[in-house]
Structure 1
Amino acid sequence: MDDKSGIGGDWVAAFAQPPGSIRIAGTDLPETARLRARGEFDHDNCDLVPAVVTEAIVTGHTRIILDLAEVTFIDAATVKALMAAGDLAASAGATVRLENAAGMVARVLAITGVPHAVTFAGRPL
């Protein structure tokens, strides 16, 4: 084994996180879209956030709920993307609500002033 630490490729595979993804999981009411995000979001994939929010708005939803329960990491670019998604929603007369943020994700949202349990329209309330 060339790895002097004794840690092989299995360790890397076990701890590698999949890139983030978001899907429209359904609707509670005709005007509501529930989006489920999972995995890690950073500068490489955070553009998915405003893109999926835009998709929900284009299909007629004015109340968008973004469930972050399965999100394991976000960075500053993702915070900016969340704010951009809120601005997009506000300009279309819609709202975005972040739900179920936990752990590090909830901490980043709190530190940056992004409310994760209240409706916002692009700006912290």
Structure 2
Amino acid sequence: MDQSGVRVRVEVRPAGVGVGVVAIGGELDHDGVGLLEEAVGSLREQDVHRLLLDLSELTFMDSSGVNAFLRAQRGSRAGGGWVRLANPQPSVLRVIELVGLGEAIPLYPTVGDALAA
């Protein structure tokens, strides 16, 4: 995949047995969704279906990001897991609220809160 023009960073880290944290930073739009989907796919290959998306460094997200989150949730549920969102920046929280994403995917103020839930 050609990564020119991509302004998003995606980092995967373990958070306990069967749980993966995907930290997303920068701007998540059509050009960067592939990186997020690759990260989610790599966790699924390891049989990790409980995903925490850490949004603390994400400064922008458009509908492509919203749809990627929903696809991640569908895939996780199909594997018996879940997706949770944590610590969004105000600009990203506004998008989440406008589209009602928080009603579809649980939203937590911190990563710790999301992991403890």
- What is the TM-score normalised by the length of structure 2? 0.77
Q: CA deviation at 1:49?
A: 2.4
**Which SS does the other structure have where 1:52 is aligned?**
helix
Q: Percent identity?
A: 27
Q: In the alignment, which residue of structure 1 is the partner of 2:11? A: 23
Q: Which runs of 4+ in 1 moved over 2 A?
A: 47-51
Structure 1, unpaired ranges of 5+: 1-17, 119-125
After the TM superposition, which residues 56-95 of structure 1 pair with which residues of structure 2 at under 5 Å, given as runs?
Answer: 56-95=43-82
Asked whether the 8 Å contact 2:49–2:82 carries over to 1, the reply is yes
Instruction: Say which of 103, 107, 110 aligns to 1:117.
Output: 107
RMSD value, Cα: 1.6
Q: In the alignment, which residue of structure 1 is the partner of 2:114? A: none
Per-residue CA deviation, residues 44-89 of structure 1 (Å, 9 max, x unaligned), is 1112223212211221223111100000000011111111111111
Instruction: Say which of 4, 17, 23 aligns to 1:36.
Output: 23
Structure 2, unpaired ranges of 5+: 1-5, 109-117
Q: CA deviation at 1:20?
A: 0.5
**Which SS does the other structure have where 2:57 is aligned?**
strand
Amino acid at match of 1:108: V
Asked whether the 8 Å contact 1:57–1:94 carries over to 2, the reply is no
- What is the TM-score normalised by the length of structure 1? 0.73
Structure with greater Cα Rg: 1
**Which SS does the other structure have where 1:66 is aligned?**
strand
**Which SS does the other structure have where 2:88 is aligned?**
coil
Asked whether the 8 Å contact 2:52–2:84 carries over to 1, the reply is yes
